[in-house]
Structure 1
């Protein structure tokens, strides 16, 4: 039975969940452009075929289920024409077991239950758990490198240092301000940057990152913020990797593995 796709309540619910779908899509592809293209394709497909959405499920589960159907049918994890980190992702993606990274992102970044992941991916709950286990192992063993942390809260900075060190990464240091970040990054080029948004002297972590990328070239960046919606506006540039405060250790580990996975192996050091 068809349902009016544009009912006011449904449209409002989708609008509330869309920033998180776009966050997932960008983490999945390693690219804002490619991720947003998949999110847009999902919305277009929903308009063309209202039965693509199961109204018996929560809006978020139904929306992600529709996205996954589009994603798996396309067979193209990174859009053509991407450059830099995103372009290099194709070769890296081929090394992962099919569907494992999708399941892990759904669990760790979007915090779906195993049962919900099964619904979204159309597998059993047990299969969803196994896919996540495989992904954790493959990503953890994939790549290590040098990590720089831009964070003005000492406890959070120490926690991040501890987590990435346990993963086998080196830490180049911690910067509390924009100027410190630029100085630290130029002194030793990192392979990955963790960056808070608001820094100690009211400077911007985003500005610090932009300064570093202009000076050092492509480096994957993971932003950490208590207000993710402020960075998920649809305007460019947006982060491909975004963690919400308060975060979990699992989220940090996944984001670091994802970001390292998408970066160039030529710049990494064990």
Structure 2
């Protein structure tokens, strides 16, 4: 196997950061895991069919190897392999073939892990969710998806000020925020104001995830790219509520 060239790795970094942050539930731990993977070297994976995916799948595989070195907690829920596969196929939108290559599994085994993990999603902890979204139809769609995943929506805000007021009154255990609120302000600003007085995991929804994945500033651990499938929201919510896979070695 050969090493991935520098330009390709740089292009794959935003995707790697998104995956690692969602896996660990933390910007710091996720970015640290990416750094470890880069320092250890990122060889290509035999069997990758899609040229643009070569660097991404190689980085995902390096991250998974690093994450797999930490002992896994014996708590109920989705096992680490299942979480990795759900994130790879839903958040990162890999097909089962490429996800299996990342973890070095036969496709049939990967498919079984994915099915078992999906069956556990609704058994996860129930969250009290604040939705920040200025488009009424999209907000209602999000509410339906959140409730279908077994969670409670405590409020829907279309502006920064409304979001802060609802968060203060309801104390949500999870915030689902659009980045662009149009005339109502900015979703990231709303979240920053909320987190000054109330700590809760946040999932950002944006059509431009790379803008939030530079690794230079305080950035979110969970980012969903528009448009997304219901399973993507379900696994991101599960990871946020369960705070991801804790890695003692990071």
TM-score, structure 2 length as denominator?
0.88
* Distance verdict in 2 for CA 1:60–1:199, change over 3 Å: same
Q: CA deviation at 1:76?
A: 5.1
What are structure 2's unaligned runs of at least 5 residues?
A: 49-53, 245-250
**Are 2:204 and 1:209 equivalent residues in the alignment?**
no
Q: Which residue of 2 aligns with 1:200?
A: 182
| Post-superposition CA distance 1:167-219 (Å, at most 9, x none) | 22111111111001111111111111110111132511111111111112x20
Report what 1:181 is aligned to: 163
Q: Is the 1:150–1:194 contact (alpha carbons within 8 Å) kept by the matching residues of 2?
A: yes
Q: Secondary structure at the match of 2:214?
A: coil
Residue 227 of structure 2 corresponds to: 246
Deviation for aligned residue 1:54: 3.7
Of structures 1 and 2, the one with the larger relative CO (CA 8 A, separation 6+) is: 2
State the secondary structure of the residue aligned to 1:237: coil
* Equivalence for 2:210: 229
Give 1:91 deviation, angstroms. 7.2
CA distance in 1 between partners of 2:145 and 2:47 (Å): 40
The verdict on how the C-alpha distance between 1:54 and 1:129 changes in structure 2, with shifts beyond 3 A counting, is closer
Specify the alignment match of 1:110 in structure 2: 92
How many angstroms apart in 1 are the aligned matches of 2:121 and 2:44? 32
Separation (CA, whole Å) in 2 of partners of 1:220 and 1:257: 11
* Rg (Cα) greater in structure: 1
Deviation of the 1:66 alpha carbon: 2.4
Q: Is the 8 A contact 2:77 2:124 kept in 1?
A: no
Match of 2:56 in 1: 60
Across the aligned residues of Structure 1 and Structure 2, the Cα RMSD in angstroms comes to 2.0
- Which residue matches 2:19? 24
* Change in 2 beyond 3 A, CA 1:63/1:233: same
Alpha-carbon deviation of 1:144? 0.7
The match for 2:116 among 134, 146, 161 is 134
| CA distance in structure 1 between the partners assigned to 2:157 and 2:184 by the alignment | 13
Q: How many residues align?
A: 239
Output the CA distance in 2 between the equivalents of 1:190 and 1:66.
35
CA displacement 1:210-268 (0-9 Å, x = unmatched): 1111112x2010000111011001123111110011122111111112111229xxxxx
Which of residues 27, 40, 44 in structure 2 aligns to 1:45?
40
